[in-house]
Chains A and B, each alone.
Chain A
Amino acid sequence: DIQMTQSPSSVSASVGDRVTITCRASQGISTWLAWYQQKPGKAPNLLIYAASTLQSGVPSRFSGSGSGTDFTLTISSLQPEDFATYYCQQTINFPRTFGQGTKVEIK
């Protein structure tokens, strides 16, 4: 199985800050990576697929990069509605695996 490791586990930031979350795969997955945002009590919401393609309707302040084993999700200017937990997921093969999540909290 491919293990996905996110860092940090949590980050405290202020509105307007630039936030970067890292996801590392235990083996190369090319660009088969997705990022999701989850707010309390809600289902996850797809933000980015294929490592860097923004899902329709997702604000352009979100961006993704990387290939192989190392990936990043960047929020260029944090907005109040962005405080949530973010998960990466590898989509190259089964079993699908998620990172453990990164909680973005208000500073």
Chain B
Amino acid sequence: QLQLQESGPGLVKPSETLSLTCSVSGGSIGSSSSYWGWIRQPPGRGLEWIGTIYYSGSTYFNPSLKSRVTISVDTSKNQFSLTLTSVTAADTAVYYCARQGGAGRSFDYWGQGTLVTVSS
């Protein structure tokens, strides 16, 4: 059973950089049928796709965040990571990592989510 787990600071100061890691267990991040994504959800609001990475390093980003987002993959650690620069209070959200599998290219496995608050 594939499992994903987000980790990283729960509090980030305005203008600083948010960094999160997603650890994958129960399967290989290098699977040819899998893409790996980040999705966020501000408190009380809907889901926003941030970006997706393939194990080879190909990336796809939400245009609204593209200038501030980096997603990378470390196949040796079976992890992928998110960095978001110049954060503001609007970036306060629960951040989820998820697998985009072969099944209709949907997100079929999700981490539990981690709340990141941007505040001084």
> Which residues in A have some Cβ–Cβ distance to B below 8 Å?
1, 31-34, 36, 38, 42-46, 49-51, 53, 55, 87, 89, 91, 94-101
Contacts and interface: CB of A to CB of B under 8 A. Distances in A.
A82 B60 CA distance: 33
A44 B110 contact: yes
B107 A53 contact: no
Interface of B: 37, 46-49, 52, 60-63, 96, 98, 100, 103-108, 110-113
The 6 closest A-B pairs by CB, nearest first: A49-B104, A34-B106, A50-B104, A43-B110, A91-B105, A96-B49
B49 A97 contact: yes
Given A36-B47, A95-B61, 20 more contacts: A43-B110, A44-B96, A44-B107, A46-B107, A49-B104, A49-B105, A49-B106, A50-B103, A50-B104, A51-B104, A53-B103, A89-B106, A91-B104, A94-B60, A96-B37, A96-B49, A97-B49, A98-B48, A98-B49, A99-B46
Given A50-B104, A53-B103, A100-B46, A1 B112 contact: no
Nearest to A46: B108
Given A87-B46, A87-B47, A95 B110 contact: no
A1 B63 contact: yes
- In terms of DSSP, what is the predominant structure of the interface of chain A? loop
A16 to B, nearest CB: 28
B108 A95 contact: no
B46 A98 contact: yes
B67 to A, nearest CB: 14
Contacts of A34: 104, 106-107
A43 B113 contact: yes
A87 B96 CA distance: 15
Given A44-B47, A87-B47, A100-B46, A94 B106 contact: no
A38 B110 CA distance: 11
A98 B35 CA distance: 18
Given A43-B110, A43-B112, A95-B62, A101 B46 contact: yes
Contact of A53 (B48, B104, B110): B104
